[in-house]
Structure 1
Amino acid sequence: MSQSRGLGAEARRLAEDERRDHNWKRWGPYLAERQWGTVREDYSPGGTSWTDFPHAHARSRAYRWGEDGLLGITDRECRLCFAVALWNEKDALLKERLFGLTGPQGNHGEDVKEEYFYLDSTPTHSYLEALYKYPQAAFPYERLIEENQRRGRGAPEFELADTGVFEERRYFDVRAEYAKAGPDDLLIRLTLTNAGPETARLHVLPTLWFRNTWDWGRDGEGYWPRPHMTALSTHALVAEHASLGRFQWHAEKAEGHPAPPLLFTQNETNRERLFGVPNTVPHVKDAFHDAVVQGRREAVNTAGTGTKAAFHHVLELPPGGRVVLRLRLFSEADAPAQLFGESFDTLFAQRIAEADEFYDSRLPRTLAPEERRVARQAYAGLMWTKQFYHYAVKPWMEGDPAQPTPPPSRLQGRNRDWGHLYNRDIISVPDKWEYPWYAAWDLAFHMIPFARVDPTFAKEQLVLFLREWFMHPNGQLPAYEFELSDVNPPVHAWACWSVYKMTASHGKKDTAFLKRTFHKLLLNFTWWVNRKDADGKNLFAGGFLGLDNIGVFDRSKPLPTGGRLDQADGTAWMAFFCTTLLAMALELAQDDPAYEDIASKFFEHFVAIVDAMNNLGGTGLWDEQDGFYYDELLLEGHATPLRVRSMVGLVPLFAAEILEDRRLERLPGFSKRLRWFLENRADLSRNTSYLSKPDGKGCLHGHRLLAIPSRERLLRVLRRVLDPEEFLSEYGIRSLSRVHATEPLVFDVRGEEYRVAYVPGESDSGMFGGNSNWRGPVWFPLNYLLIEALERYHHFYGESFQVECPTGSGRMMTLAQVARELSARLSRLFLPDASGRRPCHGDDKRFTDNPDWRDLVLFHEYFHGDTGRGLGATHQTGWTALVVQCLEELHKASE
């Protein structure tokens, strides 16, 4: 969409922040929802992060690398944090953070067991809204663990709603809203509602605390001396930090309720409780739990000082009763003239109106109300999952001077080859509970919808991962926290090129961004070529490549057969990488002829890869019998295709780039080399789709296509892609053909059976922890790349290229129409049908029958291949936010 429909208030804030006139993004939803159990907090001998820092420790142990909280915010360096704590007088624990199952506890891996929803956010976080549903019954911690451990992989996960705690609407709605009067003036509005049929009491503790940076014995950047908070009155405090400065925090007395006491403690570990040794301070991190839940008022500091503070409200709420709590956090340098009163709610109304205005200018005007609701909540989830992420491998491995020395095994353990990596940034993460760490290929997809609303952030994130404190000196991008050296698909170049094109308007192009990323991507491409092409034959074996358990074997480990696997997806990803870098080089060559040589290099490398994929050994990785691309196992000189019809065989469709003669005419150096290559290396270019196509008058239309499949092979693959009995579901393209439900691939290795069968829902395999499944469900990222590729093919082949969609229906479509059809099916996951049911929610009646739930949308990690039910991480809005691109695709014509 155009970025120029008018410069509203939020657009002005974005511009001011980009120019550094005002730091509008200093405060945001950057607080993690799970810090416990992450690799960063793990100092165990064997790298068992779940058991080294379990949930039971979270309330009592100061975190080293970050913080977490409920519906919270923090500044961009995570110095001062705010979140909400709750107690319903039945729970064993003060509810200060979200709970979920660890990897070993869940029958399908790690899994958050809470109900919360992101409802709104502007890019500068000038307005934020989120909702948490807190049961009035005791939170069933043990039952959730025990039942999920009892269930096997063939059973569905046991969820919080399955325990019955939401029956009869016996829960509290906890709505948190934030509005900025200025970059350092934050208005906080908490709305507590009793949705149940009886009067219920709720303890609410709005909590402010400093991240502990002083207990580790380190100095320098990011390690500040102990800050302090001091009571100014019964309803206010001052918080002073060496780097952040002085802030005041005020609370308004809730109408009809007594003034809340102000509690203080220190954000330091309760060593006595956890380790049986004396505490170094008398008041520790879990003091509010002890004071509120256990009634031990001596646990808090009555002197009114500390590094953690909370207002303790006790609310008696009748059925349907609602209380609004108002708080304000501001820098003393920007103290407002009036703290609360009418102007407080007026500012909220203004920021909400500005948020509506901003998204109205970015979204297609023709979106239906439900489509707009989905898009707004998708963007909200995308914005809320920006997180302060701190991980420095060298000090993490060495340990801290003031803490026990890590075991020697740590120096030979996880991520030991990444000592240069120093991350302390705001990063778009997949999910702040289940994946509270970045994943490089996830982030690349996040930046596509981000570019529509905050192009500066999108570019900054893509550049960040290419910087020297992220990228390995050998050119590899860090994959994810659990194993930085793992290999994700090389989609970073595609994201950079896409964002560049999306943000170019009215002749203005950010060439500096393109150059900056292109040069670093050359290093990454070289790493791939040097590390992943075993025999120098342009066939690549890149590991699991983000597809987890899709294959016969765990592709990140040595094959149980011995030998080597040539991967159809690994090789195709490299061809895709080539075409993207070629397109970038040709763009830069328009103004600088020096890039023509590098463009020639990528053209020729692409042709060599395609030749290997289509021709090496006769037919390469193409199977003429099945009309599909397969991985190939090479063992003792014999090549065996692994005939699994999966996304692995669809990735070759993505590498399709169109060259326009009118642009090539302006590049004489590239054109000359191109002609020479085609004339003198016909052996390589014989099966490459490098074509000029006559139009209806017999004249060349001036377009040339670079692609892996020929026209005939593309048709054959698409027949399977669009077959409902194979890949085409009602909700997008499945990751594995449904034919494998009745025809599983079985591979025998020395008496041990390896099997791949169609599994439309949760994984039945323990591969990669069993919490991911590419053996049937619908995943957004590769669906989106397929849609994009189909549009490129249509641009080249035009209206004359038509396919039957669905296969067997007799209905013929152009590839552009197929792309729109797939966009419609993906969008359908979140839109209510005639009965009000959204497929992503499955058969959960709360989302159809209860008006408090009906308009709430979750954006899951992936979706059931037959029913569309959401699976995996419930809040992985990152790449699933691509649904906004699908909705835009559907409304292009009307716009």
Structure 2
Amino acid sequence: MPPNPPPGIERQRMSQPHWQRWGTYVSERQWGTVREDYSADGNAWSYFPHDHARSRVYRWGEDGIGGFCDDQQTLCLAVALWNGQDPILKERLFGLTNGQGNHGEDVKELYYYLDATPTYSYARMLYKYPQAAYPYQALVEQNRQRGKLEQEFELLDTGIFAENRYFDIEIEYAKAAVDDILLRVTAYNRGPAAARLHLLPQLWFRNTWNWFAGVVKPSLRADGDHRVLIDHAVLGQWAADFDGSQQLLFCDNETHVRRVFGQNEAPAGYFKDAFHDYVVHNQHQAVNPERTGTKAAGLYVLELAAGGQQSVRVRLRHRRDQGDFFADFDELIKTRRQEADAFYAELQTGIADADARLIQRQAWAGLLWSKQFYYYDIPQWLDGDQGQPPPPVARRQGRNSDWRHLNNADILSMPDKWEYPWFAAWDLAFHCIALATIDPQSAKDQLVMLCREWYMDPNGELPAYEWNFSDVNPPVHAWAAWKVYQADCEQNGGVSDLAFLERVFHKLLLNFTWWVNRKDMEGHNIFQGGFLGLDNIGVFDRSKPLPTGGYIDQADATAWMAMYCLNMTRIALELAAHNHVYEDIATKFFEHFLNIAAALNNLGDEGIGLWDEEDQFFYDVLRLPGGEKMPLRLRSMVGLIPLFAVEVVTEDILAGLHGFTSRLEWFLNYRPDLAKLVSRWEQKGDEQRHMLSLVRVVRMTALLKRMLDENEFLSPYGIRALSRSYLAQPYRFECQGAGYQVHYLPAESDSELFGGNSNWRGPIWMPVNYLLIQSLRRFHRYYGESVKVECPTGSGIQMSLGEVADELCHRLTRLFLRDAEGRRPMFGDHALLKDDSHFRDHLLFYEYFHGDNGRGAGASHQTGWTALVINLINEVHRPK
């Protein structure tokens, strides 16, 4: 292998079968999930808490630190650690439950995804492990004492990293071949004194034998002092070699019922927590003396000098493979790392800023590390398993009981493998936009998967997320499918995957019909989507019955549907160029868009539009049971979402589509009110382009005047979700003798509506910012330099809409880039994160960001939609 391998090697692997069969598909939290909840009251956090996780077998998946497994999670690899001080063996990441954290659930560990390739031929992450006893209780107690208006008490705040008394645990995987896995764990002592570390690479089977009759139980057994032989009825015969291990330990991936449930009469055995008992409590009888079981580990006790390092090596491959497992081990890892460098160097051609390249590289790594094996069979979960106690009767009418068709066992992109270790419909759409920059085939597969019959309800509803599959997320799937289709075409030299586009389009026809039939209360093209992913942005919890009765006509739901219509129109036009049958469907969506636009803009006979002429803004309208209408004049992202519904079509797209264009002309002549007041179709813009938009230039510029006002929406780091004007004077709404108020919260929430990590009352959220930027670019394609706006409002600086889009890109990427003082705004003011060479370049991709200073908040590894920073960097750092 040459010292600088060409980038094409990884691309060749991506086109070959099975190279993605093994990957970083192990969750970082399986406990506290809905899947593992068999309680009567549906309290998943308390039914399966962290304290049970080391001793209690999971039903639906596995978790671990730096885990690696096959695509059915039959066999798992991960790392366990003990510093000689902790009360428990560190086998999984610790964090607070939703009830323990002052802002909801929150992982309390420091770990970073540093690298990965799409085939997982190479992957690397870093875990920072303190040398003092981990402060479990202090983290729980301190956060319990803090109120909603205080910041969270984090691991760094405990002082446990003082004097650098911690270990850096670098976990690396490489593949010599499709089924030849190399694991190298390197421990670095960053402290000023020698320190001992117990390091245990672990190998285990996901427990599949307890739930089904007739399943052959797999086995792990010792073969000498360093080798484990692996037998599985489906996976076959494998071997794992633990280079220089001081001891091999064995137990079973089974529940320690005496410890967990207090059943002292239960039979003895060698249970899931045996390695904890052996290492931490020196209970040698806990492990199987016969050196066999379904869970195994190599034990390494490392004596690390101050500043020293040691590596541990494990190799997993088919037993038929012969030869020295470790002769070429380090060279293989070096080669795979060089191949990864070459692959990314090609992707980042033209991006001169080294810091921008680093941000992209780690965002890609986070996307790939956050793929997870997700297994959830609703009928079996509701009905129970053979030989197991039946689930509570209450669950038959409880959570997800109406989703009996759903049966998932796939590799899916997770929002965050600790805080959100389950797929979410609209999150996944944004993940795919970022994923398409590196692996468009995977992005296409993810989008199609969510529309398959074992995900999508037969009535067309897409599953939202496991806490409530029936919650409604914004309909962004069609937009994502079109964007991924375009990215795939560009990366394949102009060759388009029409089969993918047609396949997903047919499924989305069902979903669109579900929306129209279920979410337009009175058939007036004004929609009531409910939750829509924006959590507590409004006056009320929109996913529940209103305290006032009635319902809300939603500006965002209506705008999302208008955007959906335009996305489906554009896809249909693309398909119609190859099959004229789709012209009729394109016409249907075009006309539906115009009717929605008319309703939203007060053009319908009902007079129920959502545009407020006095405020020059879109607002939700509360419809009371008696018919009274009350606008909710709260300036939030809800009122900016109408900007998303814009599409530009060029003359060449329409060439040959005579059925579509003739029907179009008839309709616009028949409804000149729509043609003039909503659509700019007949008036060609820059380079003879046509445009469809919910808002004409007057209303668009009025919205942008608000949006680009630094006293309202425009932050130094992007667009806030709520106007900052509500900081000094909260919005107040009174109805039926009750008062409600909403005030600007730049970061963590003080509301209990959706848990502490759900806050749209001021922070900067990457997905809606990205959509705003894309919309501005489409407006610019039509208007060109003929339309300019003041940015920021009141500054006197005039910018084209394309320049405004660039400005927002710069502000958003500024969250991650080092400033003149070396500070990354997302890290806040912590000196260690700013100055320490072992911290400052390890990035976190937060769920959302402080609306004023850019500090990261919410889930810390939301490398799903926050990975959109990859695309933003491409827009402003790559030469045009």
Matched with 2:173 is 178
Distance in 1 (CA, whole Å) between partners of 2:322 and 2:155 is: 43
Matched with 1:110 is 105
Partner residue of 1:822 out of 796, 800, 808: 808
Confirm or deny that 1:142 pairs with 2:137. yes
CA-CA distance at 1:750 after TM superposition: 4.3
CA-CA distance at 1:752 after TM superposition: 3.6
Matched with 1:593 is 580
Distance in 1 (CA, whole Å) between partners of 2:578 and 2:601 is: 35
Partner residue of 1:802 out of 781, 788, 792: 788
Q: Is the CA contact (8 Å cut-off) linking 2:32 and 2:46 kept in structure 1? A: yes
CA-CA distance at 1:660 after TM superposition: 2.2
Confirm or deny that 1:8 pairs with 2:5. no
CA-CA distance at 1:338 after TM superposition: 2.8
Distance in 1 (CA, whole Å) between partners of 2:183 and 2:26 is: 15
Confirm or deny that 1:634 pairs with 2:619. no
Distance in 2 (CA, whole Å) between partners of 1:279 and 1:390 is: 29
CA-CA distance at 1:281 after TM superposition: 5.6
* Larger CA deviation: 61-70 vs 765-774: 765-774
**C-alpha spacing 1:611/1:831, structure 2 compared with 1 (3 Å):** same
Confirm or deny that 1:649 pairs with 2:634. no
Confirm or deny that 1:721 pairs with 2:721. no
CA-CA distance at 1:803 after TM superposition: 0.6
Matched with 2:363 is 378
CA-CA distance at 1:684 after TM superposition: 4.1
Matched with 1:95 is 90
Matched with 1:235 is 226
Q: Is the CA contact (8 Å cut-off) linking 1:217 and 1:400 kept in structure 2? A: yes
Distance in 2 (CA, whole Å) between partners of 1:751 and 1:107 is: 31
Distance in 2 (CA, whole Å) between partners of 1:171 and 1:804 is: 50
Matched with 1:38 is 33
Matched with 1:366 is 351
Opposite residue 630 of structure 1, the aligned amino acid is Y
Q: Please show how residues 170-569 of structure 1 align to structure 2 within 5 Å.
A: 170-218=165-213, 224-253=215-244, 259-277=245-263, 278-280=265-267, 282-333=269-320, 335=321, 337-341=323-327, 343-505=328-490, 506-569=493-556
Matched with 1:578 is 565
Q: Secondary structure at the match of 1:781?
A: helix
* Larger CA deviation: 725-734 vs 637-646: 637-646
Distance in 1 (CA, whole Å) between partners of 2:308 and 2:322 is: 31
Q: Secondary structure at the match of 1:71?
A: strand
Q: Secondary structure at the match of 2:688?
A: strand
Q: Is the CA contact (8 Å cut-off) linking 2:253 and 2:295 kept in structure 1? A: yes
Partner residue of 1:786 out of 772, 781, 792: 772
Opposite residue 664 of structure 1, the aligned amino acid is L
Distance in 1 (CA, whole Å) between partners of 2:296 and 2:6 is: 43
CA-CA distance at 1:214 after TM superposition: 0.5
Matched with 2:744 is 758
Q: Is the CA contact (8 Å cut-off) linking 1:218 and 1:400 kept in structure 2? A: no
Q: CA RMSD in A?
A: 1.4
CA-CA distance at 1:618 after TM superposition: 4.3
Distance in 2 (CA, whole Å) between partners of 1:325 and 1:6 is: 29
Matched with 1:256 is none
Partner residue of 1:80 out of 66, 71, 75: 75
Q: Is the CA contact (8 Å cut-off) linking 1:364 and 1:888 kept in structure 2? A: no
Opposite residue 624 of structure 1, the aligned amino acid is E
Which runs of 4 or more aligned residues in structure 1 lie more than 3 Å from their structure 2 counterparts after TM superposition? 278-281, 616-619, 683-686, 691-695, 749-752
Q: Deviations over 1:589-641 (max 9, x none)?
A: 00111001001100000000000000145471001111111101112222211
Q: Is the CA contact (8 Å cut-off) linking 2:105 and 2:756 kept in structure 1? A: no
Matched with 1:775 is 761
Q: Deviations over 1:187-228 (max 9, x none)?
A: 111100111111111111111001100112346xxxx42100
Q: Deviations over 1:514-550 (max 9, x none)?
A: 1000000000000000000000000000011000000
Matched with 2:42 is 47
Q: Secondary structure at the match of 1:847?
A: helix
Q: Is the CA contact (8 Å cut-off) linking 1:665 and 1:671 kept in structure 2? A: no
Distance in 1 (CA, whole Å) between partners of 2:213 and 2:516 is: 40
Which ranges in structure 1 are unaligned for 5 or more consecutive residues?
254-258
Confirm or deny that 1:658 pairs with 2:643. no
Distance in 2 (CA, whole Å) between partners of 1:806 and 1:745 is: 24
Q: Secondary structure at the match of 2:437?
A: helix
Q: Is the CA contact (8 Å cut-off) linking 2:587 and 2:664 kept in structure 1? A: yes
Aligned residue pairs, count = 870
CA-CA distance at 1:336 after TM superposition: 5.0
Matched with 2:671 is 681
CA-CA distance at 1:403 after TM superposition: 1.1
Distance in 2 (CA, whole Å) between partners of 1:323 and 1:117 is: 20
Q: Is the CA contact (8 Å cut-off) linking 2:37 and 2:48 kept in structure 1? A: yes
Q: Secondary structure at the match of 1:39?
A: coil
Distance in 2 (CA, whole Å) between partners of 1:628 and 1:336 is: 71
CA-CA distance at 1:860 after TM superposition: 0.2
Distance in 2 (CA, whole Å) between partners of 1:351 and 1:162 is: 37
CA-CA distance at 1:364 after TM superposition: 3.8
Opposite residue 847 of structure 1, the aligned amino acid is L
Q: Is the CA contact (8 Å cut-off) linking 1:172 and 1:195 kept in structure 2? A: yes
CA-CA distance at 1:365 after TM superposition: 2.1
Which ranges in structure 2 are unaligned for 5 or more consecutive residues?
none
Confirm or deny that 1:605 pairs with 2:592. yes
Q: Deviations over 1:81-128 (max 9, x none)?
A: 011111111111000000000011111110000000000000000001
CA-CA distance at 1:753 after TM superposition: 2.6
